[in-house]
Amino acid sequence: MFFGIEWDTSSQWAFAVSIFPILLHGLVVTLEATVVGFFIALILGLVLAALKSAPTRIVRWPAKLLTEFIRDTPLLIQLFFLFYVLPEFGITLPAFLTGALALGVQYSAYTSEVYRAGLEAVAKGQREAARALNLAPGRTFTHIILPQAIPRIIPALGNYLVSIMKDVPVLSVVTVLEMLGVARIIGDRTGGYLIPLSMVGALYLVMTIIASFGVRYLDTHLPKRGLSLK
Amino acid sequence: MSDPIIKFDKVVKRFGDHVVLDELDFEVQRGEKVTIIGPSGSGKSTVLRILMTLEKINGGVVYVGDQPLWHQWRREELVPASEQHLRQMRNQLGMVFQQFNLFPHMTVLRNLTEAPIQVLGVSKAEARQRAMELLEMVGLTDQAAKYPHQLSGGQQQRVGIARALAMRPKIMLFDEPTSALDPELVGEVLNVIRTLADEHDLTMLLVTHEMHFARQVSDRICFFDKGRIKEQGTPEEIFTAPKEERTQAFLKAVLDPDD
């Protein structure tokens, strides 16, 4: 029994049907972790990208160093740090939040590069025109540069959304009951791993296919309003 | 009467080892219409870009009005200008770019109202009214709701001119405004600039290869060569009787390219 749901081991088919709702519990956690992690990656990545293109070196360098550090260390180490080391300093976060944060921070390093490339792809003349019109740098960034950069980078960001989703199982090592962790526990308790793990694989396939279609839909249906997308 | 609104005092501009402006002395009087001509790489556009604060200078002082542009006074000494000073100075100038540089994600109207609302603090209604007046002046009132890519190059550049004017600059800078246009669209843009040239108060500084047009609208022509003014004078003087050999050769090359 798991999440108050009994499994039926009378036949393989019955077993699969009975554990499906249990896996859905895990699926919800997986999706939540994906969404929260992606949201953190989107915001933090944008902040990092803005810092990395700052005019002063004192701002630029720490941001670059941080990005490099995040990118060059495994997600699992960052996760362990947040989960085991932070409490030593009196900061204890719930397991789910720790996991989502680790995912978000890890992927912010990647999204920041996506943003940076997108921002650099906006024609230089746009910044010059904004400057000639005396628009403030902040306003130029949010209202001139960013709106032109975002449609170009949606496919790349979408790919990272799928990647995050596929990295969520790592969170099971810090006791987050996401889908794969749930499947493993079912296997531990019933001795049958083949069916739950196969079902997780199939569910992942379905989710990533849906996500990919979603990203493609966004990419083709987002108003481009005259932006030349190369 | 000498009342310079723009003054370059021994201005030096380098890109790496390449000297673009070589201790340039240059003045433009209030309300004057000046055209800069010369071979590519002679520093023509750089003069405009320095004035629009898009390029820094490496030496000398630029004055706009009675204030230094890239410097400010601190205890009787000229120190490099703060961003705040640049912001203040920039409001006096408007620029029209070769590549138009309209904001592609904004409608024509929004292109014209964004900066007046954000920078000058004009109300939305007022900015909109002013924008429509300007669009009328450039003959594009029916295009206000469109996006730049829906317009022809000539129409886009007319919007570019209107956008710069929306900030009510005292000085208009035109950086090869027709060079990116198909030949049949050049005329409509030049007509708009010609209308502006009739405005008595507006100071205009124009870089162009349209020699006949320059001759019609300019009070003065400056021939630039190697980062300096090689020769300057009224259109008559420059086009009918250039003194310098370099000027003669240049004009011959651009006016009779088939010879």
| CB within 8 Å: B87 and A134 | yes
Residue A127 distance to chain B (closest CA, Å): 9
Which residues of B touch chain A, with CB atoms under 8 Å apart?
Answer: 52-54, 87, 90-91, 93-95, 97, 99, 101-105, 114-115, 118-119, 147-150, 163-164, 167
Whether residue A6 is contained in a domain is answered as: no
The domain spanning residue A105 has which CATH number? 1.10.3720.10
Q: Is the pLDDT of residue A224 over 70?
A: no
Chain B residues with CB-CB distance to A136 below 8 A:
118-119
Q: In which band, very low, low, confident or very high, does the pLDDT at B255 lie, cut at 50, 70 and 90?
A: confident
Whether residue A128 is contained in a domain is answered as: yes
Whether residue A230 is contained in a domain is answered as: no
Nearest to A179 by CA among B136, B162, B253, A171: A171
**What pLDDT score does A230 carry?**
36
Q: Is the pLDDT of residue B118 over 70?
A: yes
Sign of CA dihedral A62, A67, A72, A76: positive
Of chain B, the percentage scoring pLDDT greater than 90 comes to: 88
Q: State chain B's mean pLDDT as an integer.
A: 93
Whether residue A1 is contained in a domain is answered as: no
Q: How far apart are CA B200 and CA A30, in angstroms?
A: 69
Nearest to B49 by CA among B11, B23, B88, B102: B11
Q: In which band, very low, low, confident or very high, does the pLDDT at A151 lie, cut at 50, 70 and 90?
A: confident
**What pLDDT score does A226 carry?**
55
Whether residue A226 is contained in a domain is answered as: no
All residues at 6 or more sequence positions from A180 whose CB lies less than 8 Å from its CB, including other chains: A26, A30, A168, A169, A172, A197, A200
Whether residue A2 is contained in a domain is answered as: no
Q: Is the pLDDT of residue B1 over 70?
A: no
- Average pLDDT estimate for B217-236: 94
- Average pLDDT estimate for A168-187: 92
Q: Is the pLDDT of residue A205 over 80?
A: yes
Task: Please say whether the beta carbons of B152 and B171 come within 8 A.
Answer: no
Q: Over the stretch A26-39, which tens digit does the pLDDT of each residue have? A: 999 999 999 999 99
Q: Residue A158 sits in which domain range?
A: 12-221
Whether residue A18 is contained in a domain is answered as: yes
Q: Over the stretch B146-157, which tens digit does the pLDDT of each residue have? A: 999 999 999 999
| CB within 8 Å: B103 and A128 | no
Q: In which band, very low, low, confident or very high, does the pLDDT at A223 lie, cut at 50, 70 and 90?
A: low
Tell me which range, A168-177, A183-192, A217-226, B152-161, is most confidently predicted by mean pLDDT: B152-161
- Average pLDDT estimate for A76-86: 92
Chain A interface disruption, residue of B105, B146, B173, most A CBs within 10 A: B105
What is the count of structural domains for chain A?
Answer: 1
Q: Is the pLDDT of residue A225 over 50?
A: yes
Q: Is the pLDDT of residue A221 over 90?
A: no
Closest residue of chain A to B113, computed from CA coordinates: A133
The phi, psi pair for A96, rounded to 5°, reads: -60, -45
Q: Is the pLDDT of residue B178 over 70?
A: yes
Q: How far apart are CA B182 and CA B103, in angstroms?
A: 21
H-helix or E-strand spanning residue A198: helix A194-221
Whether residue A82 is contained in a domain is answered as: yes
